[in-house]
């Protein structure tokens, strides 16, 4: 099955799969009661700031991951978010009116801010296991 890569164009999904691609989506690990509470929180306290939207999504996802899941696996693919999770993140963000009216898509600048918010929340809660710039220079 092909997927679009902003870095390489159309690529075979099997060729690009990583361990992080196996992490569950938020929808898969959310109960109906949590879904209802999420909608209430979205209405009452989540603004439309793209970075905040990304952080809220990441917070919920991290809170609901099983102890056996390893979100630190995402750092190996930074700044790429696994395709299914990224799609879910952007669909979530669309609920906040972040769609450009003429194209029915989220503006590129907002997409970057949404993903930046996701990574910001992840960085605050999961130890960064990426090699530092100095370690890369030493090897």
- For 18-43, b/e burial (b = at least 16 CB within 10 A) is eebeebeebeebbeeeeeeebeeeee
Residue 4 pLDDT greater than 50, yes or no: yes
Kindly report, residue by residue over 8-45, the tens digit of the pLDDT: 666 665 555 677 888 999 999 999 999 999 999 999 99
Q: Which of 76, 83, 68 is nearest to 122 (CA)?
A: 76
pLDDT of residue 113: 93
Q: What is the pLDDT of residues 79-127, one digit of tens each?
A: 889 989 999 999 999 888 765 554 667 888 889 999 999 999 999 988 7
What's the pLDDT score for residue 133? 43
Pick from 77, 88, 78, 104: nearest CA to 24: 88
Rounded to whole angstroms, the Cα distance separating 15 from 13 reads: 5
pLDDT band per the 50, 70, 90 thresholds, residue 137: very low
Taking only the tens place, the pLDDT of each residue in 45-64 is 988 899 999 999 999 999 99
CA-to-CA separations, 45 to 56, 91, 129, in angstroms, rounded: 10, 19, 32
pLDDT at 73: 84
pLDDT at 134: 41
Report how far residue 32's alpha carbon sits from residue 38's, in angstroms, rounded to the nearest whole number.
Answer: 10
């Amino acid at each position: 099955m092909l997927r679009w890569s902003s870095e390489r164009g159309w690529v075979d999904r099997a060729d690009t799969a990583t361990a992080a691609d196996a992490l569950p989506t938020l929808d898969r690990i959310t109960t109906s009661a949590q879904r209802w509470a999420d909608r209430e929180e979205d209405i009452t306290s989540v603004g439309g700031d793209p970075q905040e939207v990304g952080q809220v999504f990441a917070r919920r996802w991290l809170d609901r991951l099983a102890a056996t899941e390893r979100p630190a696996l995402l750092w190996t693919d930074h700044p790429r978010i696994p395709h299914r999770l990224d799609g879910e993140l952007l669909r979530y963000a669309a609920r906040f009116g972040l769609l450009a009216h003429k194209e029915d898509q989220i503006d590129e600048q907002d997409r970057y801010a949404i993903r930046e918010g996701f990574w910001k929340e992840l960085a605050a809660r999961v130890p960064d296991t990426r090699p530092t710039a100095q370690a890369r220079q030493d090897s």
